[in-house]
Amino acid sequence: MEDELYTRQQSLGLSVPNTVAVVGCGGIGSWVAIFSAMSGVPNLYLFDPDNMEESNRNRLPFCQGSLNRKKVEVVSEYIRAIRPDCNVAAIPEKLEPGVLLNVLFSAANVLVECTDSPRSQIRLYKECKGKIPFIRAGYDGTKITVTSHVSGWIKDTEVEAYTFNPSWVVPAATVAALAVAKMMKFPNHETNLDLTEIGVPVLERQKRLTKRCA
């Protein structure tokens, strides 16, 4: 049965990394880790110091028993249940410059940044430059972004504060799926769009284009 697991994706020409680092295991990062494992990534490094909260569960597939546990532990257990052969290193702390980050650069093939911290995004983008591919995945309400760059800047004196942005499973999972698609199939693609713009609006017709047959 294991030989049949990835049969249907073999003809797609995916470039499945050997090792992926996911920084931030909230609504996006958890799905990035899960989708990566489901696509056949054999090694994952997960970074997040926070605990699972009830408000996280509206966009994640975890049970009530996950509450007040480290997010990385919850995600790693879920992945091991669906992909026992995937090696998951659950690290319940922030990924900061230093020895650990340097070791990670020698082990990981790509880093996916999924935090809501501008400082983390900019810092890790600069650290990864010229070393390993960097993917930034984020959303705000229905606006989603998947990119290999971080635009803008923040002042040295700026103090970050956690904000409660509108959150829903659909944009969270969509952003994660697009990040994994960029990682494995479309490395040069960038995504910056509003989900409300997807598809063709259905307009209420004032009159029929043709008359009904009698």
Q: What is the pLDDT of residues 124-170, one digit of tens each?
A: 999 999 999 999 999 999 999 999 998 654 444 444 544 567 889 99
Residue 100 phi/psi, 5° resolution? -60, -40
* Tokens encoding 94: 């922030």
Q: Give pTM, 2 decimals.
A: 0.89
Q: Which amino acid is at 151?
A: S
Helix axes 169-184, 29-38, angle to 10 degrees: 50
pLDDT at 164: 61
Kindly list the structural domains of the chain, giving each domain's residue range(s) and its CATH number in brackets, ordered by start: 15-197 (3.40.50.720)
